[in-house]
Amino acid sequence: MGVGGGQGGLAIAFQLLRERVQNIQVIDAAEAGQEGPWLNYARIPTLPSPKEGNGPDLNIPSLAFQAWYEARFGKLSWKKLNKIPTELWVNYPKRFRKILSLPLQNIMRLIALVPLQGNINVKIECLNTGDVKEETTRKLILATGIETPGKWSVPPISQKIPKDFWFHTSEKIDFDLFKNKEVAVLGAGASAMDNAVMALEAKALGVTLYCRRSELQRVQPFKW
Ligand SMILES: Cc1cc2nc3c(=O)[nH]c(=O)nc-3n(C[C@H](O)[C@H](O)[C@H](O)COP(=O)(O)OP(=O)(O)OC[C@H]3O[C@@H](n4cnc5c(N)ncnc54)[C@H](O)[C@@H]3O)c2cc1C
């Protein structure tokens, strides 16, 4: 069983099918097409990654984003494209999943897992009905992305600050509130940059990012 139907979960499901492992099931808590950050808490209009980067296509050119884009908009348009617009990127996994008939069930959240005599017992909640079912799986793959810790967390110091003064990046944020204000961002990863840019575009006086590392992370973890 795979948990998470974002691009990581889709790629793993595809690879398993290519290896002839066909008795698989993938679940995702999000509604179909809403998996991952793109329609939820990512705000940028384009992907920061270069357009040529791999998605879940496993190096099969006809399944790559480029093939999909060229089929829709033509080769010339691809050449002219600088970065991939987020609103187009979100359509690509939908098509990918459909072409490959990937066995993804949506609105199903993994809520517990217990090792059981060499297998794993999982509890899955259907978020539509609230029904909880138990299943046993031999292998469990967690492709739960940024939500892996199970809940969004904020540093304890935020509890001492009135809620009107801070937001977590997963929340809906009215960036007009930052006009003519100094904004502090805790963190310097993708979401931090994303929200810093949004604040500046909303005419914040300035944005300061605070980072625990001595240097910004420059490694692309998906590039290996
Ligand atoms: C603003 C921003 C910009 C980014 N830009 C880039 C970029 O340009 N290039 C790049 O490579 N990466 C970028 N990223 C990182 C991006 O998050 C990942 O590349 C990509 O989404 C990772 O895919 P994933 O499948 O691992 O996780 P996700 O896309 O996060 O998918 C995880 C899925 O797991 C599901 N899930 C979580 N917990 C459960 C549970 N308990 N039960 C069931 N389902 C569950 C979630 O609903 C979600 O759909 C960016 C991230 C952000 C926030």
Summarised one tens digit per residue, pLDDT across range 39-69 is 889 998 999 888 988 889 999 999 999 999 9
The predicted structure's pLDDT at residue 165? 92
Q: Which residues contact 12 (CB under 8 A, 6 or more apart)?
A: 2, 141, 143
Q: Tell me the C-alpha to C-alpha distance, in Å, between residue 96 and each of 6, 50, 117, 128, 156.
A: 11, 20, 36, 25, 41
Q: What is the pLDDT of residues 82-103, one digit of tens each?
A: 999 999 999 888 889 999 999 9
The domain 156-210 belongs to what CATH superfamily?
FAD/NAD(P)-binding domain (3.50.50.60)
The alpha carbon of 34 and the centre of ligand 1 are apart by a number of angstroms equal to: 11
Neighbours of 35 (CB within 10 A): 26
Q: Do domains 2-147 and 156-210 have the same CATH topology?
A: yes
Q: Which residues contact 178 (CB under 8 A, 6 or more apart)?
A: 199, 202, 203, 204
The answer to whether the beta carbons of residues 89 and 35 sit under 8 Å apart is: no
Which ipTM value was assigned to this complex?
0.96
Closest Cα to atom 10, ligand 1: which residue?
Answer: 49
Cα 76 off chain centre by: 29
In 3D, which of 27, 22, 49, 53 has the Cα closest to residue 38? 49
Q: What is the pLDDT of residues 172-183, one digit of tens each?
A: 999 999 999 999
52 or 124: whose pLDDT is higher? 124
The ligand 1 site (C-beta within 6 Å) comprises 3-9, 27-30, 35-37, 42, 44, 47-49, 109-110, 143-147, 190-191, 194, 222
Instruction: Enumerate the domain spans of the chain.
Output: 2-147, 156-210
The domain 2-147 belongs to what CATH superfamily?
FAD/NAD(P)-binding domain (3.50.50.60)
Mutational pocket test of ligand 1: of 27, 52, 120, 147, the residue with most ligand atoms within 8 Å of the beta carbon: 147
